[in-house]
Amino acid sequence: MPDNYASVPLRELNNGAFMPSIGLGTWPLDDIQAGAAVAHALDAGYRLIDTAENYGNEEGIGEGIGSTSVPREELFITSKFNVQWHSVQGVQDAWENSCKRLGMEYLDLFLIHWPNPQEGNYVQAWEGLVKLLKRGRVRAIGTSNFTVGQLRELMDATGVVPDVNQVQHSPFWLNDERLAFHAEHGILTEGWAPLGRGKHDLLSSAPVLAAAEDHRVTPAQAVLRWQIERGVVPIPKTSSPERLAENLDVFTFNLSPEEIKAIDTLDGTADEPADPMSFGH
Residue 40: closest CA among 24, 19, 29: 24
What are the pLDDT digits (tens) for 117-159? 999 999 999 999 999 999 999 999 999 999 999 999 999 999 9
Q: Which residues pair with 142 in a beta bridge?
A: 111, 164
Among candidate residues 46, 55, 106, 122, the one labeled active-site is: 55
Decide if 106 is catalytic.
no
Residue range 76-89, pLDDT digits in tens: 999 999 999 999 99
Q: What is the spatial distance between Cα 212 and Cα 253, in angstroms, rounded to a whole number?
A: 11
Task: Indicate if the pLDDT at residue 1 is higher than 60.
Answer: no
Output the pLDDT for position 271.
85
Is pTM beyond 0.85? Reply is yes
pLDDT digits (tens, 9 = 90+) for 151-198: 999 999 999 999 999 999 999 999 999 999 999 999 999 999 999 877
CA distance 7 to 27: 25
